[in-house]
Amino acid sequence: AIRDRRAGYAAGMRRYGLMPRTVLFSDDAAVCRAIDAYRSTAVFCHNDWLALAVIRLLAQQGVKVPADIAVLGVDDNPSFTELYPGITTLRYPRETVAQQAVAWLKTSIEPAPLPPLEIIERDTVSD
């Protein structure tokens, strides 16, 4: 899933004529250097927990989200949003995924492509 998200991000960036940049969250300093070096205006994180870690890291550096940089996560997990409700995220079509998984297990017929993820805009992006 992480490789697929990274590939989708890179393809989307190229589609708009933008250069995709991938930074592994190996250490805090590396993330901050990469964001600064590329003069990033947004960070796409492969899940909401990583988005929260990046937001906290940026806050420690005095970077304001979303005034200075936007942060986007993926999942929109109800448990997570109870803990931190402000993260802008991409929501999976959970019910469709569940229905297709059950149908696939029962029939072994390859499921149809999933509908696009829904953007749930909250407090970590601005216009």
Distance CA 122, CA 72 (A): 10
- What's the confidence (pLDDT) of residue 12? 92
The whole-number average pLDDT for the span 44-63 is 92
Q: Given a cut of 80, is residue 78 above it in pLDDT?
A: yes
SS3 59: helix
Q: Given a cut of 90, is residue 40 above it in pLDDT?
A: no
Q: Is the peptide bond before 113 cis (omega within 30 degrees of 0)?
A: no
Share of the chain above pLDDT 90, in %: 46
Is 118:91 a contact under the CB 8 Å cutoff?
A: yes
- What's the confidence (pLDDT) of residue 73? 94
Is 43:70 a contact under the CB 8 Å cutoff?
A: yes
Q: Given a cut of 80, is residue 43 above it in pLDDT?
A: yes
- What's the confidence (pLDDT) of residue 117? 87
- What's the confidence (pLDDT) of residue 26? 74
Instruction: List strand residue ranges (DSSP E) for the chain, in order.
Output: 42-44, 70-75, 88-91, 118-120
